[in-house]
């Protein structure tokens, strides 16, 4: 009897283990199947949404809605309800899960409208946020860039300048920038064509432009600066002057050679571009032809009055001008140049030659 009872007990335990194993296998199969179905459903939704007609919203009816960084679907639903764009937060959250949009909403500003369905809103919020394409020309100074960005309704220029001066941005190329500069980031907002997210803000745009400079200022440029006995800040300061003086690409390295020659001889750089920068910053004017009085302005940026490089850049140079500053035409012995009026220059080795060139081309 005891033996039979023991055998029955073992059979029962074996059956229970088998049932438990089958149940677990069944549950795992259901979970895997559900995951596969859900994944396939989400991919199908995304692919099918790409084939749908674009949602067009007139400017007059547009409502710009911002998805905050890290916002949950619940938070987004609440914000949409506050804006009057949806009636039910609960329904939005449920449909987000059912339609496979939950967790896919893109941070940034999106263009919505009052009469959109929830599905249309979800499609828009999972697409690329609104952006604005802006081209920053080579040779624009800080305030010209700030004015450009403000005209495009991307920033407030006063806030932009304040953040630029007061925020510590962690980039190696900013290590030698003096704290005494009126605009600490002058020279480092890399000129390029940008697609700025409308939600970037002042600090975000500064980071984007500085990051672009960081990519363009190659590791070998740091090495070359040391070979020249210059800091990166001095290189960019010189590059900014070259940017404003050189009109033709083939003359950049020659003009750079002239300035390097003058620096070696402890001569004043006598760059009209530095005086033009002073006039713009002090009076907001752009003056192409300078007077003798202009050249006498007592300002540390005036290279007709003070020797060496000015305290900082006078504009934001492009990569070609940076290269020219780092790799001048050091074969030439030129110390002077004068504009011919067609964008090109006459280069001279002596003051006598220079004065003759001035008489010839500046008297026209």
Q: Is residue 221 part of a domain?
A: no
pLDDT tens digits along 282-338 = 988 888 888 999 999 999 999 999 999 999 999 999 999 999 999 999 888 999 999
Most confident of 22-36, 116-130, 172-186, 311-325: 311-325
For position 241, what pLDDT does the model report? 98
Predicted confidence at residue 32, as pLDDT, reads 66
Neighbours of 354 (CB within 10 A): 18
- Domain check: are 174 and 253 in the same one? no
Mean pLDDT of 21-35: 64
CB atoms within 10 A of CB 315: 28
Domain containing residue 114 = 59-125
What's the whole-model pTM score? Answer: 0.76
Same domain? 91 vs 191: no
Looking at residue 41, its pLDDT comes to 47
For the chain, what is the mean pLDDT? Answer: 87
Res 139: pLDDT: 96
Q: Is 175 exposed, middle or buried (0-12, 13-18, 19+ CB in 10 A)?
A: exposed
Establish if 239 belongs to a structural domain. Answer: yes
How far is the C-alpha of 332 from the C-alpha of 293, rounded, in Å?
A: 32
Domain count, the chain: 3
Residues 344 and 288 in one domain: yes
Residue 339 DSSP class: E
Task: Give 212-230 pLDDT, tens digit per residue.
Answer: 999 999 999 999 999 999 9
Across 116-130, 231-245, 303-317, least confident range: 116-130
12: in domain: no
Q: Identify whether 40 is part of a domain.
A: no
DSSP three-state, residue 338: strand
Q: Is 129 helix (H, G, I), strand (E, B) or coil?
A: coil
Residue where a domain stops, chosen among 74, 96, 125: 125
Domain contains 49: no
Q: Would you tell me how many other CB atoms lie within 10 Å of the CB of residue 76?
A: 24
For residue 127, the model assigns a pLDDT of 86
Cα-trace Rg, the chain: 33
Instruction: Examine residue 186 and state whether it is found in any structural domain, yes or no.
Output: yes
pLDDT of residue 89: 86
H helix and E strand count, the chain: 13, 6
């Amino acid at each position: 009897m005891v033996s039979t009872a023991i055998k029955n007990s073992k059979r029962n335990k074996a059956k229970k283990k088998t049932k438990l194993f089958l149940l677990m296998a069944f549950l795992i199969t259901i979970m895997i199947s559900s995951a596969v179905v859900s994944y396939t459903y989400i991919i199908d939704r995304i692919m099918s949404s790409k084939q749908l007609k674009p949602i067009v919203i007139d400017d007059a009816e547009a409502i710009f809605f911002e998805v905050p960084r890290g916002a949950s679907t619940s938070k987004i639903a609440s914000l949409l309800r506050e804006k009057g764009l949806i009636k039910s937060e609960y329904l939005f959250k449920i449909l987000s899960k059912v339609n496979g949009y939950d967790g896919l909403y893109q941070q940034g500003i999106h263009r919505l409208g009052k009469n959109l369905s929830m599905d249309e809103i979800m499609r828009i919020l999972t697409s690329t946020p609104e952006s604005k394409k802006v081209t920053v020309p080579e040779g624009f100074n800080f305030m010209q860039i700030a004015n450009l960005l403000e005209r495009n309704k991307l920033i407030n220029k006063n806030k932009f300048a304040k953040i630029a001066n007061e925020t510590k941005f962690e980039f190696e190329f900013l290590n030698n920038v003096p704290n005494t500069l009126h605009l600490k980031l002058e020279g480092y907002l890399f000129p390029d064509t940008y697609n700025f997210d409308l939600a970037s803000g002042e600090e975000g745009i500064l980071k984007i432009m500085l990051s672009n400079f960081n990519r363009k200022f190659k590791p070998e440029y740091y090495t070359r600066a040391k070979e020249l006995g210059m800091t990166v800040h001095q290189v960019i300061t010189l590059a900014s002057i070259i940017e404003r003086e050189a009109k033709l690409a083939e003359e950049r390295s020659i003009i750079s050679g002239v300035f390097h020659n003058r620096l070696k001889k402890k001569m004043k750089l006598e760059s009209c571009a530095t005086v033009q920068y002073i006039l713009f910053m002090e009076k907001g004017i752009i003056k192409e032809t300078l007077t003798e009085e202009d050249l006498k302005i007592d300002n540390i940026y005036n290279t007709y009055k003070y020797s060496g490089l000015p305290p900082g850049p006078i504009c934001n140079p492009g990569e070609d001008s940076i290269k020219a500053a780092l790799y001048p035409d050091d074969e030439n012995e030129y110390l002077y140049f004068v504009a011919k009026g067609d964008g090109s220059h006459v280069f001279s080795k002596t003051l006598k030659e220079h004065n003759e060139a001035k008489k010839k081309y500046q008297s026209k």
